[in-house]
Structure 1
Amino acid sequence: MRRRAWLPYAVAVPLILLAACGRKAPESEAALPVIALPVQAVDGLSYGRFPGEIHARYEMPLSFRVSGQLTARYVTAGDVVKKGQALAQLDPADAGNQLAAAKAALEAAEHRLLFATQQRDRDEAQSKQNLISQLQLEQTQDAYASALAARDQAKQQVELAQNQSRYTMLVADHDGAITSRQADVGQVLAAGQAVFGFAWSGDRDVDLDVPESRVDGIVIGQTATVTLPALPGRVFAAHVREIAPAADPQSRTYLVKLTIDQPGTLLQLGMTADVALQSSKPSGATVSIPATALFHQGEHPAVWVVRPADATLELRPVTIVRYGERDVLIADGLKAGERVVMQGVHTVTAGEKVTPIAPPHPEDAPQ
């Protein structure tokens, strides 16, 4: 009976020991694979790239100061002209007639002034001898003053007629190039009506159309670099000279003009340009990350940084300098070389152990 009572215990103990030997130790937590790459420093903080077009610093329409019929045109679009060169001619007949009439009026006024001067001299001599009344002397002096004023007025009319006659010839007031032709021979033109488009030689500008969301970051004097597809390998320094105070009513963009510091002779009007504006803010230690790496901790921007010591994640606040189309510039919070989660930032948590991997597609890597 005692043997049968101990039998269940003898069988249970080996089974318990066997079960204990077969139980495995708990596995360590598996690392989560994440796309994470080292961030890169930016050489000179770039505010953004914009397409532009080369223009002359001074561009304006050329027109006659007087009205008339266009009888001759000596240049056309694309011609390079020198200062003082004749460009077009109006019919000079009317201006010539006005000049002749003004000269005739001046000659008559000079004769009247000569007679009035002689009469004044006689009356003043007779007045000293009390041969004429004081009233007659005053009338003579008044007639002389009127004749003198009429002569001066006639002189001014002659000068005006000479100018009007000279204005029938349109001449270049500066070295430059004809950019457009806006009038044809035989056309009757009003004073001030454009005949040619004209661009001065010398200084060259780059014109940009900047969206209203980006114009606040641009200031007068801001530096930039300019490259042109037509001149590969050439880089030109420039700076912002003018910012339009109002947006274009059609495109809702702001015209920004940059002056090229040393244009040389290679830059031609109308060339397309790629302009890289430098930030107006101090660059400091800045890094660039893809826009997909940005995470928001409440209202504050942050990024997931992989700690090098234990490969765990840390959510770190950062200071944004500029938002680009595909990238973000960080001014504070990151250092070059630190590994940052580039994609899937909403699927990870702080302190999580990760295994950094490269993007599956090379084009997804930050440039």
Structure 2
Amino acid sequence: MSLKYIPSVFLAVAVAIALGACGGKQQGMQAPPPVNVSVQTVSTADAAYYDEYPAIVRGVQEVELRPQVSGYITGIHFTEGSQVKKGQKLYSIDPQQSEASYSQAVAGLAVQEANLERAKRDVERYRELDKKDAIAKQQVDNAEATYAAAVKQVEAAKASVRAVQTNVRYTTIVAPFDGTIGISAVRLGASVSPGQTLLNTISSDDPIAVDIVIDQKELYRFSDLQAKNMTVKNDSTFKVSFGESVYPHPGKISIIDRAVDPQTGTIKVRLTFSNPDRVLRSGMSGTLIVESKVSKSVVIPYKAINEQLGEFFVYVADSAKATQVKVKLGKAVGKNIIIKEGLSEGDVIITEGIQNLREGTPINIAAPNASAPAPVANKK
């Protein structure tokens, strides 16, 4: 072969190699196969969910019994843990000291009344003499002053009698309202001091209160629920649970506290519950369950949600490919989730196979479900 043909041969070989390389590269860049997915058509439905709040049971009325006089306990007139009625006699404190003080005050009043009577006779006599100009003006003035002082002294003595008489009444302690009385903190013969010694505690128990604390952002919602309580009979929005047991009687909001705590941004709400069997006791800890209903909401399976850097997305089937759509989540409802924004009724979302998807990934759709499953109410 002539040397002049060698470059042409090399050129042909080089071209062939280049074409082969390009062909191999094109084969290596073939589009990935479609991902098998399951889809579901978005529908709207009525949904119910429940919010939960730590709760403390309280008596609507609750008071500590403390003595207002000193002495010794001479009588306990109730059964501990029983129901008591307003005005019922509960404790007796030795009245001897109070009765002696009362007798002394009454005697002091009698002395002052006698002094007043004498001062009255003197001033009346001096007034008559003064009319006849038969007595010095100074004596009349002194008699008037003595009489006025005697009047005041009688008033003071009467006030002292009333005060001691009140102390005598305080030796008997009665129930201030109907309720349940606890275990006595003192026994017969115990010495008690006014305002210091705790005798017992009484709390009302039907109805009974349940207290919760809510964030100030929820204040408008609870104000609306309070208004609803006033107009809807047998409203079951509020229930209270203790472990796995849910108390059968619904409650209602009775008080929303006066002001928000500026340190915590929270406010106290008090609800009342019927307690005919005295099952609820003051001091119990439980959970307040608040039902919320949302009508005509977009509800999809939670498994269709894809989270990326704190944001939430779903994949929508769009012309045989996956398209990512950002959504705003609402409350969980069983295995489903309420979608506040991002989806509309009739959209077709991908529910299975999302772990293999990216934006624009080809998909192979399995037989779709007709609509989303009916939501089931659940706790938060």
**TM-score normalised to structure 1 length:** 0.70
Partner of 2:199: 195
Q: What are the superposed Cα offsets for residues 255-275 of structure 1, whole Å, 9 maximum, x if unpaired?
A: 844323x62624533277542
Tell me the SS of whatever aligns to 1:66.
Answer: coil
Q: 1:268 aligns with which of 279, 285, 305?
A: 279
User: Residue 97 of structure 1: which of 100, 104, 113 is its match?
Assistant: 100
Q: How far did 1:304 drift?
A: 0.3
Q: Is the 8 A contact 2:87 2:174 kept in 1?
A: yes
Q: Which residue number in structure 1 is paired with residue 9 of structure 2? A: none
Does the aligned pair in 1 maintain the 2:47–2:333 contact within 8 Å?
no
Q: Could you report, residue by residue, the CA deviation over 1:86-133 in whole angstroms, capped at 9, with x for unpaired residues?
A: 111111111111111111111111001111111111011110011111
CA distance in 2: counterparts of 1:73 and 1:45, whole angstroms:
51
Aligned residue runs from structure 1 range 164-243, under 5 A:
164-192=167-195, 193-208=197-212, 215-219=215-219, 221=223, 223=225, 224-228=237-241, 234-239=248-253, 241-242=255-256
> Which residue of the partner structure matches residue 118 of structure 2?
115
- Which SS does the other structure have where 2:105 is aligned? helix
8 Å CA contact retained: 2:39, 2:351: yes
Rounded Cα–Cα distance in structure 1 between residues aligned with 2:141 and 2:224? 72
1:263 aligned partner, one-letter code: S
Whether the 8 Å CA contact 2:216–2:267 is kept in 1: the answer is no
C-alpha distance after superposition, 1:288-331 (max 9, x if no partner): 667776555666x4330433x65644433333456899986543
**Structure 1 residues 153, 366: closer, same or farther in 2, change over 3 A?**
closer
Residue in structure 1 matched with residue 359 of structure 2 by the alignment: 350
Counterpart secondary structure, 1:194? coil
From 58, 66, 70, the equivalent of 1:67 is 70
Taking the aligned partners of 1:133 and 1:111, their CA distance within structure 2 comes to 26
Gaps of 5+ in 2: 1-29, 226-236, 369-375
Asked whether the equivalents of residues 294 and 302 of structure 1 are also in contact (C-alpha less than 8 Å), the reply is yes
Counterpart CA distance in 2 for 1:89 and 1:34 is: 80
> How many Å separate the matches in 2 of 1:349 and 1:291?
19
Percent identity reads 20
Contact 1:70-1:187 at 8 Å conserved across structures: yes
Distance in 2, matches of 1:203 and 1:233, equals 14
SS at match of 1:111: helix
Query: What is the RMSD computed on CA atoms of the aligned residues?
Result: 4.3
1:277 aligned partner:
290
* Equivalent position to 1:124, from 127, 132, 147: 127
Following superposition, the deviation at residue 199 of structure 1 comes to 0.9
What's the counterpart of residue 151 of structure 1?
A: 154
1:240 to partner: Cα distance: 6.5
Q: Partner letter of residue 139 of structure 2?
A: Q
TM-score by length of 2: 0.68
- Residue equivalent to 1:259: 271
Shift of 1:168: 1.2
Query: Structure 1: 5+ residue runs without aligned partners?
Result: 1-25, 359-364
Matches of 1:111 and 1:255, distance apart in 2: 62
Higher RCO (CA < 8 A, seq sep 6+): 2
Question: In the alignment, is the contact (CA less than 8 A) between 2:239 and 2:247 conserved in 1?
Answer: no
Aligned to 1:234, the other structure's residue is in SS state coil
Say if 1:337 and 1:206 are closer, same or farther in 2 by CA, change over 3 A. Answer: farther
Alignment of 1:24-43 (within 5 A): 29-33=33-37, 41=45, 43=47
> Which deviates more, 332-341 or 81-90?
332-341
Distance 2:53 2:34 in 1: 47
Q: Number of aligned residue pairs: give it.
A: 324
Q: Which residue identity lines up with residue 159 of structure 1 in the other structure?
A: R
Higher mean alpha-carbon deviation, 158-167 vs 172-181, is at: 172-181
Residues 54-86 of structure 1: per-residue CA shift (max 9 Å, x gap): 432122212222233222222243110111101
Alignment of 1:128-147 (within 5 A): 128-147=131-150
